[in-house]
Structures are given as structure tokens and as C-alpha cells.
Chain A
Amino acid sequence: MSESKSKSFTLLLYLIVIIATIVFIFPIAWMFLTSLKSQNDAFTAIPKWIFTVTYDNYQTVLFERDFQKYLWNSLYVSVFSTVLAVILGSGIATRSQGITSREPKTS
């Protein structure tokens, strides 16, 4: 492979990866942009790329709704279920481990 050919090949690889990244990031980025828009800017037929940034939506979510409660609920469920799963699951795993490691001795 000549030097220039491998260089253009690398370029092609980067191009593909960059396009893929844009495709997978765009919806998330768009959601983020929308979160900074006011009601009027968010619902337009032609999307606005330039708009006045507003933090009202975050204000609403963080302080006017029960955000702390929702956050607490999520944390509660995930922490509690993880801890429980680890304790109970390791219990079951210990049992089989106990059987296998003991079997050669008893038999």
C-alpha cells in the first residue's frame, strides 16, 4: 500500500465515523437545544438554529415541580434493588460454589 493511499483510506475511516457520530448524537443534541428554547421557539415549522437561550424549562423542572422527589424515587429504587440483588445473588452463587469446592473432598 502506498503512503498516499493509506492516508486517504484513514481519512475515509474518519469520515465514516464522524458521520455515524453525528447521526447518533443529533437527536440528543436536538433535545438539549430544545430544552433551552422557549415555548414559541420550540414549536416552529422551520426549526430555529439561532434563538434566545432561556433557562425557564430547567427552572420549572428543578424548582417548580417535585424534581427532588422523583430523583429520590429513582435513587431509592436503583440503590435498593442493586444492593438486594447483590446480596441475594451472591447467596445463590455461594451455594453452588460451596457444593463444587466441597464435592471432591466428601466423595
Chain B
Amino acid sequence: MNKFKLSRSGPYLVMAPGMILLLLFAIYPTIFLFKISFQEYSPISIEKPFVGLSNYIQVFQDQSFWNSLKITIIFVLSTVSLEFFIGLFLSIVLHQLGKGQKIFQSLILLPIAMAPTIVGLMFRFMMNDQYGVFNYFAESLGFSRISWLSDPQLALPALILTDVWQWTPFMMIILLAGLKGIPSDPYEAAKIDGATASQTFFYVTIPLLSKIIYIALLLRTIDAFRIYDTIYMMTKGGPINVTSTLSWIVYDKGFKFLDFGYGAALSVVMLILVVTLLMLFLRKVDLFNVEGKS
């Protein structure tokens, strides 16, 4: 084990290249982001005066910020909860399955392997009101043609549907892995005590799965918060801003209107939101303590 003994400075030398690159490409840009969020920063003007908190004040006074915050919260809550419940259900069903579990599992997992951009393009094609296959199904079920992506009422649900389609399998596979890791003795004990199926589920399965559930929810929540590529492909924030989430308006304000200072302030606000969420999650559960007692 101790064959590769390092000299005193050895570990620091080995670590240096990685840390330098991290500083250069992760830490420095973040600091730069904080800096320009206090500036009136436009790439076309030479002067970039410091304006104090005015970008932040502008953010909190901006109607579109509150609107997008609301949309993001709706999006995150509905996608994550749908993905969680469908994923949990499917993982339990798959876990019960004897033969063919592997085949079904790998087929259901296919959506995760696709790039979000391609998923967005695919669903835009299928949800098209003229030649989309979804409308064909809607018509054959007796509904009238629906313009999924241009109807302000339906654009957000359509995006949620797309996200749920792509990420439910992810939820499913994490929970399935958790289910497989539960030993059989608590179940036997529950059986001896005469527990019903629902009692076994709520008092044995769920508590033993709680850590995995936390991790899965955490990963999906943070990911759902950052959704951008699918929106870019499907609705571009429209119709009338009903699908402009936080990350969308960061792009919209920052790059379309070339107001980098304002865009930076927006992303700082978003960063703080996501980090707060992460902290709340991590306080609730100690992820690396495998022995439970969370």
C-alpha cells in the first residue's frame, strides 16, 4: 500500500495542476460574475462603471423576474413530484418482476441517454399542430387539434411532459438500485409480525429507502432548476413568456439585450437560490453516513 510514498511537497505538487485549472475555469469566472453584477456592463460600450446594487434592485423590481421565478417553481415542483411518484411506482413494479427485468429496465432507460436538445427537437416535431403525431392521437381519441406549444395554457404542461418523459427513468433507476440494496430480513420480520402490504411499504420500505429518495430528489431538483436547452428547442420562452424560467431570462436579458451586468445579477440571485436549496437538503440528510440515523 505504501509503495508510492510521497515526499512532503509531493501531494501538493500532484494536486497543483487540478487546483490551478479549477481556479482558472471555475473560481475565477464566478468571482468575475459577482464583480460584473455590480457594474453597468455592456460588451459594446468601453466604460463599465460600478453602479452598486442597482442591478439587484432592478432584478427585484422586474416583473419578469417574479414571473419567471413563479414559472420555475411550478416547473420544478411538478416535474420532480411527477417523476418521483411515477419513478417510485415503476421501480417497485420492476423490482417485483422476475423474468425480463433487465430488458425492460434497459429499454425504459433509453431516454436518459439522449441529449436534451434532441429531446426538445423531437417533442417539438411530435407536438406540432399540423403534422405532429400527438395531435393524431388526440384526434383519434375524439379531441380537437391542440396547438401544444403555441397555446399559453398548454406550453408549460407540454414542457413538463417532456421533462417527465426524459427524467422519470433516471428517478426509477436510482430508486430501483435503492430497493435492491434493502436486505430481506426487515421484510421477514414484518411478515412475522403480521404487517399488511401497505404497512410494510410505509414502515419498512420507505424509511429504508429515505436516503436514496433524498439523493434522487436533490439531483432532480437542482437539474430541473437549470432547465434551458429543452426550452430553447421547444418554446424559446414563449408564448407570452409562459415558459421563461429563471435560466431562460438570464440568457434572454443578458445576451439578447446585451445587458451583462443585469444578467449577472440575475444569475447570482439564481445561484443563491440553488445553493440555499442544496444546503437545506444537505442539512436534512447526511449523505455519506450510510448507517442511517439521518
Contacts and interface: CB of A to CB of B under 8 A. Distances in A.
Interface of A: 10, 13-14, 16-18, 20-21, 23-25, 27-28, 30-31, 34, 42-47, 87-89, 91-92, 94-96, 98-99, 101-102
B18 A88 contact: yes
A96 B42 CA distance: 42
B17 A91 contact: yes
A99 B123 contact: no
Nearest to A89: B18
A45 B129 CA distance: 9
7 contacts: A20-B90, A20-B104, A20-B108, A23-B165, A45-B131, A87-B18, A88-B17
Q: Chain B, interface size: which category?
A: 35 or more
A96 B11 CA distance: 8
Contacts of A28: 110-111, 114, 122
Interface string B1-17: 11000100011101111
B104 A46 contact: no
A20 B10 CA distance: 53
Interface in B58-95: 90, 93-94
Given A30-B126, A47-B133, A24 B110 contact: yes
A91 B131 contact: no
B111 A24 contact: yes
Contacts of A95: 11-12, 14-15
B107 interface: yes
6 tightest Cβ-Cβ pairs between the two chains A and B: A88-B18, A95-B15, A98-B11, A95-B11, A91-B14, A92-B18
